[in-house]
Amino acid sequence: MNKIVRFFDKLEDRIRGFLSHYPMLYAMVGGVAVVLFWRGVWELADDFEISAFWSLFVSVLIMMGTGVFVSFFIGDRIILTGLKREKKLAEKTEDEVKEEEMLLVNLSRRLENIEKSIDLIKQKL
């Protein structure tokens, strides 16, 4: 089972790596997949003869209970970029994304150094 999970994990990484260079193609592939998924959900609900009211009621309960409601319909990244008045990720160039990633890596290293310094100070005390 682990081999299967690892295979699909690596496959996903390769596909995302490729598609990230072609945002329009990525959007098209993702869009088709989302529509097919919802079509399947819709057909399944029809097969079980679930009414529109109960469909809406149960889905809102589940989404609110799992925290997916706001994340799916608005997205936490959109909220954060709006508050910070940043560009949307889709509007950033590849260089800007790499620059932001390097900044985060550098901050992480600095934080690790600070933690090590604090540990050394604690040992001396």
As a whole number, mean pLDDT of residues 85-114 equals 80
Co-location of 5 and 42 in the same domain: yes
Co-location of 117 and 100 in the same domain: yes
pLDDT of 82 over the 70 cut: no
Measuring CA to CA, which residue among 75, 74, 78 is closest to residue 86?
78
Co-location of 106 and 68 in the same domain: no
**Rounded-to-10 torsion of CA 114, 119, 120, 124:** 140
Predicted local confidence at residue 91, as pLDDT:
63
Cα–Cα distance measured from residue 97 to residue 91, given in angstroms and rounded to the nearest whole number: 10
Cα–Cα distance measured from residue 48 to residue 41, given in angstroms and rounded to the nearest whole number: 11
Q: 83 with 75: CB under 8 angstroms? A: no
Report the number of distinct structural domains present in the chain. Answer: 3
Residue 117 structural domain: 92-125
Co-location of 65 and 21 in the same domain: no
Residue 83's pLDDT band (cuts 50, 70, 90): low
Co-location of 73 and 109 in the same domain: no
